Chain A
């Protein structure tokens, strides 16, 4: 290393670099060295639990933005953003018909950055529905659902449904006129199914009308049930992409 070659002439930069990256604390967290050589670059990806969702190498064409338009990645990014902003919203929101609306009003007026947090959550939710739909279209038109990726397409369809349900259950929570009536219209559609429609609607709404029982059901599904399911299916989705040999390529 530089130190053994010319001990007197170590520059300030080298010493700062060594102090940050060549100590036991840093090395205990990141096992690979600084990713400036191919070996370390591959190790950086392979030894990091988050990065190792990726392979270490990837085909040239898949790095082109126009191949995926990053749409799957963006869906995932929005999911993460929604989780973070959603947790912050949960600090201020009580799912009770007596409080929910007032909590949202207070969030918008009394809580610092409350309105911003709510806006971000809402826009990301709409955005995620759009990116997931567009991701599905990109997968279709690049023929990426073909063998061996059939099952990952099916997982994708499940993720699409979960995304819509997440958005739908969140729609009720502000407990304003828009929320109440949109959910009434939506759940009435379920109720119109032959035979089992009405019992299903009853279970979903927890009664004959959208009220407290519906609010707590939608809330629970929205903050824990559906996100957990989505996380599980996303895990399988990403795992399958790697098992299927990365993104689809012309044969």
Chain B
């Protein structure tokens, strides 16, 4: 009898105590929060006014559709996509990848629906470790892939195995139609990068002797019923080496490398919980995003070649 009576009383006392403790940890929004908000609003107003007095927004010449600037760049926050565009099919870089990236971003809470690590900065055991690993792999991986696609490894090889006195091309004089003319040909003494088809991604298409029939596989006009939309029928031809280089390889990389990262992190016990994997992948994503943006902004110059670019037109 006594037990039955005291039990609920004790329980409600505990609840009371917890409530009281919570109340004690709470502050009033006025003045504590309103004050902070007010101060930071004033601070940032001053900051923006000072910045705007010191630095003018850029204004170039009047728009002229006849004059294409070189390089032409999208606004800076889209330069990551423009950078992707250099390495894969435009439909992939311009539409499919960003769409899937946004859906994946929105799906994060539905995948990682645990409550661990909630409400505090890096509060799980391996949170920081995974953030560092993800960020490092994302940055280094992106840079390596960009350098590879720019044939930097081949250029390095050729620099190491050729003296400065062996240029890659030489001018020879040949007779053509009774006249002697200058012609630029490959230097036979020049040590070329030996694995020609690994020069960059595009070389896989160009340097491998693909059967001619593979470059134009007709699929007919039955596959895609554009006539239903009132558009003319499209007769599709598939270029298999092109498909491989522009779509299959990039997609495999973009899906495969994150999976490999997670598997390695899982096997090495770096990432053990859902939250760990989420931090790993998100940090990797942010690092890739930032790296692509910086490369696209500062080291894509004329002809979008990999050269330092200082008048960063994308940033004003």
Contacts and interface: CB of A to CB of B under 8 A. Distances in A.
Interface in B117-167: 117-124, 127, 131
A150 B116 CA distance: 14
Contacts of B28: 38, 41-42, 45, 56-58
B59 interface: yes
Contacts of B286: 137
A58 B26 contact: yes
A217 interface: no
Contact of B63 (A108, A164, A177, A186): A177
A150 B29 contact: no
Contacts of B121: 66-67, 141-142
A13 interface: no
Given A120-B48, A123-B52, A146 B109 contact: yes
A190 interface: yes
A65 B36 contact: yes
Given A193-B94, A248-B118, A123 B69 contact: no
B52 A116 contact: yes
A144 interface: yes
Contact count band on A = 35 or more
Contacts of A58: 26-29, 32-33
B65 interface: yes
29 contacts: A35-B31, A38-B28, A41-B29, A42-B28, A42-B30, A56-B28, A57-B26, A59-B25, A60-B25, A61-B119, A81-B48, A104-B59, A119-B56, A121-B57, A129-B77, A141-B122, A143-B116, A143-B118, A146-B117, A157-B106, A177-B61, A177-B62, A177-B63, A178-B58, A181-B72, A182-B72, A186-B78, A189-B78, A209-B65
A214 to B, nearest CB: 11
Contacts of A168: 75, 78
Interface string A224-248: 0000000000000000000000011
Interface of A: 35, 38, 41-42, 44-45, 51, 54-61, 63, 65-67, 70, 73-74, 77-78, 81, 97, 101, 104-105, 108, 115-116, 118-124, 126-127, 129, 137, 140-147, 149-150, 153-154, 157, 161, 164, 167-168, 171, 174-182, 184-186, 188-190, 192-195, 197, 209-211, 247-251
B60 interface: yes
Interface residues of B, number: 84
Given A116-B49, A189-B95, 10 more contacts: A51-B34, A56-B29, A57-B23, A101-B63, A116-B53, A157-B102, A164-B77, A171-B75, A180-B64, A189-B90
A54 B108 contact: no
Interface in B260-305: 275, 279, 282, 286
Interface in B1-57: 23, 25-34, 36-37, 40-41, 44-45, 48-49, 51-53, 55-57
**Best-buried of A101, A161, A177 by chain B (most CB within 10 Å):** A177
Contacts of A61: 119-120
Contacts of B180: none
Given A143-B117, A190-B95, A192-B94, A176 B60 contact: yes
A30 to B, nearest CB: 12
**Best-buried of B34, B91, B118 by chain A (most CB within 10 Å):** B118
A168 B81 CA distance: 14
Interface string B64-85: 1101110011111110011001
Contacts of B120: 61, 142-143, 250
A120 B60 contact: no
A189 to B, nearest CB: 3
Nearest to B45: A81
A99 to B, nearest CB: 11
**B contacts with A: majority SS:** helix
A209 B102 CA distance: 28
A185 B114 CA distance: 41
Given A60-B27, A157-B105, A176-B63, A192 B91 contact: yes
Contacts of B105: 157
Given A190-B94, A192-B94, A123 B57 contact: yes
Contacts of A188: 90, 94
A21 B57 CA distance: 45
**Best-buried of A122, A171, A178, A247 by chain B (most CB within 10 Å):** A178
A176 B118 contact: no
B72 A185 contact: yes
B115 A147 contact: yes
A161 B36 contact: no
B109 A147 contact: yes
A70 B67 CA distance: 44
Contacts of B36: 63, 65, 70
